[in-house]
Amino acid sequence: MSSANVRILLTGVTGQVGGDLLPLLQGLGTVISPEEFELDLCDPEATRQFIRDSKADWIINPAAYTAVDKAESEPRLAYAINADAPRTLGEAAAELRIPVIHFSTDYVFDGSGTRPWVESDSTRPLGVYGASKLAGEHALAETGAAHLIFRTSWVFGTRGKNFLLTILRLAQEKEELRIVDDQYGAPTWSRDLARMVVHVARRLQERSALSGDSFAETVRAVQGVYHAVNGGETTWFGFASEFLRLAAVARPDLKLARLVPIASCDYPTPAKRPANSRLNCNRLQEVFGFALPTWQESTAAVISEVLESKSL
Ligand SMILES: NC(=O)c1ccc[n+]([C@@H]2O[C@H](COP(=O)([O-])OP(=O)(O)OC[C@H]3O[C@@H](n4cnc5c(N)ncnc54)[C@H](OP(=O)(O)O)[C@@H]3O)[C@@H](O)[C@H]2O)c1
């Protein structure tokens, strides 16, 4: 099949990662990109039928329930979207012999230690969101569909709900902001994740063309979990300090709040977060020859786009 004939079913297009994937995937084939009102992933029968009707060759599923704190009081909904839906997608994909590209999270780990987690490390989620995403990883794998699962962390970008956009807004409204400084991880730009998926898909297409194996079988040969985050590490306080510094340099007229570093215990939330969210991305580099840029490079790119596009 030539790449121009590939049909890609993409979920979650109103979200951060789905929204950045949509324009990039259009270079790979025909993208079918339903919004939630056209395809409710909580409805398994409608989802199966939609997939059959779509005649998709691949499924890419960035749709998720991502409200980490709210998940503690809405576990049924979190599990329906994060665990049951990947199972439904996987079952339909297995039946049609097409692969599924799915996303998961650093919150599958308990945050102990300081070493970056590798894919084979033991998981122990601290809250409902992480537990539901882990259940989704297992559910998809159990269906037998060829699959890739990209675990990422601290997603930010120019659209949707994210830490950078929230703090940038609050920093203009308040004198002082208290930000947690004892959780370590890598802020990851949704567009870098989208570029990574396109790179991986192209690599797999090339391998499939060379070997004569189907695309799904080519995916199956390397299937499983991959960690995919921007390079380097910081804390939420370090991240906020950097993007507010960049904003102040670009726009000296903006009056921005002073930041105060605090401990997680001074900012109680319904869901506990891992202290160590560092993810080791060596497997992604070794298998697909791809490394995401550093979080500082991507933060600079996002701040410059946000300041250009918004009248702050
Ligand atoms: N955000 C993070 O910091 C973060 C960190 C680690 C991993 N991840 C993972 O990365 C992936 C992408 O996250 P993201 O930040 O792009 O998520 P997001 O911005 O919250 O977007 C989620 C998308 O899922 C859709 N959705 C939710 N419920 C649905 C349903 N029942 N049927 C169909 N669509 C539904 C939403 O549609 P509506 O807009 O209509 O609700 C939205 O388009 C997810 O797997 C997430 O778990 C995210």
The pLDDT-based confidence of 3 (bands split at 50, 70, 90) is low
How much is the pLDDT for 35?
Answer: 80
Distance 212 CA to ligand 1 centre (A): 35
The amino acid at residue 84 is D
| CA quadruple 145, 148, 149, 155: dihedral, nearest 10 | -140
Distance 82 CA to ligand 1 centre (A): 9
pLDDT (tens digit, 9 = 90+) per residue, 174-193? 999 999 999 999 999 999 99
The answer to whether the CB of 160 is under 6 A from ligand 1 is yes
**Token pair listed for 286:** 């070794």
Q: Is the pLDDT of residue 66 over 80?
A: yes
- Which atom of ligand 1 is nearest the CA belonging to 156? 3
Per-position b or e across 34-67, b if 16+ CB within 10 A of its CB: beeeebbbeebeebeebbeebebbbbbbbbbbbe
pTM for the whole structure? 0.96
Average pLDDT over residues 199-218: 96
The answer to whether the CB of 274 is under 6 A from ligand 1 is no
pLDDT (tens digit, 9 = 90+) per residue, 74-111? 999 999 999 999 999 999 999 999 999 999 999 999 99
3-state class percentages of the chain: helix first, strand second, coil last, to nearest 5:
45, 15, 35
Contact 191, 159 (CB under 8 A): no
The answer to whether the CB of 44 is under 6 A from ligand 1 is no
How much is the pLDDT for 141?
Answer: 98
Average pLDDT over residues 281-308: 97
The answer to whether the CB of 135 is under 6 A from ligand 1 is no
Sign of the torsion formed by the C-alpha atoms of 113, 118, 120 and 125:
positive
